[in-house]
Amino acid sequence: MKKHLIWILPALTGAILIGLWYAIIIIGGQPHYVLPSPWQILEACVREREMLIPAALRTGFAAIVGFVAAVGGGSIIALVLASSRWVHRAFYPWVLVMQMTPLIVLVPIFVLWFGEGLPSITAITFGICFFPVVANTTMGLISTDKNLLDLFRMSNASFTQEIFLLRMPYALPYFLTGVKIAGTLAPIGAITGDFLAGTASTYAGLGYLVQNYRSQIMTAELFAVAFVGCIIGFIFVASVNFVHWYLLHNWHESSLKADH
């Protein structure tokens, strides 16, 4: 595909979608509190910037803390799970059970344990990001090429050599896939957490703003929050993708150009 088309095509579809949006408003005659126009949303973004920017920073911060904790904690748990087949058999089903538990139900319990605001919000983000990291990293650690393991055994490699020189680098692409999924979930987790456990006095992030605007039927402002959340998500995903590319582009198939 020609290079400039990569930009022109999405811009074109975007323009068509916005046109459709206006068409619906004009033909359908929806009032602005049901369906605000893109321009009104943009206006709301500017008007509410003093609310939106600090809230976005809070949400972003909570997302980063929860995400980093999940990546760190998830890798450690994955290492433990992969350390022996017995540990894996004994604990992995329980990891899955935990993953099946609807996290939202646990929010009041988190609030009870950790208090309202940042600690609970981070805990929720952590809970959402944790499992993809654990599942993918464990998978990577236990699916090391059998021949490579034999090669290491032939050289009388120690357990730590096997872990650090073979299993961990081998699991890196899997781990990074988990991190990528966690990266897309982290901002959603933070906003959800904020929505359920954020208060004006403790931690007023984007989720709290949603509560606030909803009660006043400020629809354009709600769209503005979604827009800002979208930007946070984009920054997260772009950063994580960059790390993925940076670590793998030399050697891994997933980061190769199609025409290498």
Partner 1 sequence: MERTKISKSPQVILKGLHKRYGLGDTVLKDIDLEVGKGEFIGLIGPSGCGKSTLLKMIAGLTPVTSGTLEIDGKTPEAARDQMSFIFQEATLLPWLTVHKNIQTTMRLHGVDKKECQRIADKMAALVGLDHVKGFYPRQLSGGMQMRVSIARALSVSPKILLLDEPFGALDEMTRDHLNEELLKIRSIEEWTAFFVTHSVSEAVFLSTEIIVLTANPGTIYKKIFVDFPYPRTAKIRESPEFQRLVSEVSHHLRSVDR
Instruction: State the minimum distance, in angstroms, from the CB of residue 139 to partner 1.
Output: 17
CA–CA distance, 163 with 116 (Å, rounded to integer) = 40
Q: Which positions touch partner 1 (CB under 8 A)? A: 145, 147-148, 150-157, 161, 165-166, 169, 172, 250-253, 256, 260
For partner 1, the closer of residues 142 and 172 by Cβ is 172
Tokens at residue 151, please? 């090669």
For partner 1, the closer of residues 39 and 251 by Cβ is 251
Using H for helix, E for strand and C for coil, what is the string for 85-150? HHHHHHHHHHHHHHHHCCHHHHHHHHHHHHCCCHHHHHHHHHHHHHHHHHHHHHHHHHCCCHHHHH
Instruction: State the minimum distance, in angstroms, from the CB of residue 182 to partner 1.
Output: 22
For partner 1, the closer of residues 115 and 150 by Cβ is 150
Q: Are 51 and 236 in contact (CB under 8 A)?
A: no
For partner 1, the closer of residues 87 and 256 by Cβ is 256
For partner 1, the closer of residues 114 and 152 by Cβ is 152
CA–CA distance, 49 with 73 (Å, rounded to integer) = 35
Instruction: State the minimum distance, in angstroms, from the CB of residue 164 to partner 1.
Output: 12
Instruction: State the minimum distance, in angstroms, from the CB of residue 3 to partner 1.
Output: 25
CA–CA distance, 227 with 116 (Å, rounded to integer) = 26
**For the CA atoms of 29, 30, 31, 32, what is the dihedral angle to 10 degrees?**
-120
Instruction: State the minimum distance, in angstroms, from the CB of residue 169 to partner 1.
Output: 5
CB under 8 Å to 215, separation ≥6 — which residues? none
Q: How many CB atoms lie within 10 A of CB 137?
A: 28
For partner 1, the closer of residues 5 and 165 by Cβ is 165
Distances from the Cα of 7 to the Cαs of 1, 13, 19, 239, in angstroms? 11, 10, 18, 20
Instruction: State the minimum distance, in angstroms, from the CB of residue 168 to partner 1.
Output: 10
